[in-house]
Amino acid sequence: MAYTSLLDLPKKQLAVLRWLVENGPASEYEIGRKANENRFAAHQAPKALLKKGLLRFILKGKAKTGRTIKVYYPTFKGFLAYFASFLPRTLDFQKIQKYYMEPENQEALRKAILNVQKLYPEEKIFAEWNTIEKWLGKVRSYYEICLAATHTLLEHPIIKNLKDNTLQSIKNEKLREIEKMDTLLTNIMRKIMEKDAFWISSFEESFASLYTERILSNKALNDYMKGTITPIPNENLYNLFQKIIDSKIKKAEDRIQRLNSIKKAFKALFKSQKSLEFPNF
């Protein structure tokens, strides 16, 4: 499974994922009856989504046939895949506005946000969603959440580095067959990324980075220049943003220190090379 496929799920899988995200946990029977999917799709789609780490299930007794009843619900990564599927493939903000202003899309996204809050009450971005929606308005806030979800799934540096390092490791071990490389990469990444904690922290970092750098910083600067700056009233979000910004500053400082060390080492290497080429007589 390539992680880019999360934004290109088969139609039936996406339909089942969307229904579960918007309507809450359900069994295969309920998926078939309420989500209006046939028996084959109601059975196969959850199985496929389960393998991709987008769903989990709990056992809930047995049916009259003796078959164990599985009740499926989205993982945090499943919620991210859902929001990523609502990101328009356009840079035209007028089209983006029109898309998120459609009542059908607003209702679906709002249902999804409420269900994230129920399943993950400790997650700060969704827990404080009313504040974010108030700051940005519905259209902008929905766009930002879908953009951050997509960024988390496909562009997060941790994921990129993991891919690069794993592929290099595979090459070093001379496993060059495409099938073997893909299988090994998938298994390694799945084990590391299955945990909700990874996806929650990655998503919070993505959202906070995008939000503070592209929107909040501009607004704060504009307000400051006008002399109309006002304090952020939400302490939970303020603390989260501050923590993530501090972490980014620390990483930047570490990188600067490393670059300075490399610069000094390179300078020393150049001097020693020069002394060898031009000996003193």
Same domain, 179 and 95: yes
> Looking at the domain assignment, is residue 260 inside a domain?
no
Mean pLDDT of the chain: 79
**What's the number of domains the chain is made of?**
2
CB 4 within 8 A of CB 154: yes
> Looking at the domain assignment, is residue 112 inside a domain?
yes
> Looking at the domain assignment, is residue 273 inside a domain?
no
**How many CB atoms neighbour CB 134 within 10 A?**
12
Sign of CA dihedral 193, 162, 212, 259: positive
Q: Tell me, what's the pLDDT at 198? A: 85
Query: pLDDT-based confidence at 4, cuts 50/70/90?
Result: very low
Inter-residue long-range contacts of 53-60, CB under 8 Å, 24+ positions, other chains counted: 53/77, 53/78, 53/190, 53/193, 53/194, 54/6, 54/17, 54/78, 54/81, 55/17, 55/20, 58/25, 60/27
**Among the listed residues 10, 25, 193, the one whose alpha carbon sits nearest the alpha carbon of residue 85:** 10
Summarised one tens digit per residue, pLDDT across range 211-266 is: 777 666 666 666 767 776 666 678 888 888 888 888 888 888 988 988 888 888 88
Same domain, 63 and 179: no
Q: Tell me, what's the pLDDT at 177? A: 52
CB 94 within 8 A of CB 88: no
Same domain, 67 and 85: no
Same domain, 69 and 185: no
> Looking at the domain assignment, is residue 160 inside a domain?
yes
**Among the listed residues 118, 131, 102, the one whose alpha carbon sits nearest the alpha carbon of residue 23:** 118
Same domain, 83 and 56: no
Q: Tell me, what's the pLDDT at 5? A: 44
What's the predicted TM-score (pTM) here? 0.72
> Looking at the domain assignment, is residue 268 inside a domain?
no
Residue 68, SS3?
A: strand
Same domain, 29 and 140: no
Summarised one tens digit per residue, pLDDT across range 29-63 is: 888 888 777 777 778 889 999 989 899 988 888 77
- The boundaries of the domain holding residue 56 are 1-74
Same domain, 88 and 182: yes
> Looking at the domain assignment, is residue 48 inside a domain?
yes
Same domain, 94 and 31: no
Summarised one tens digit per residue, pLDDT across range 190-211 is: 554 457 888 998 898 888 887 7
Q: Tell me, what's the pLDDT at 104? A: 95
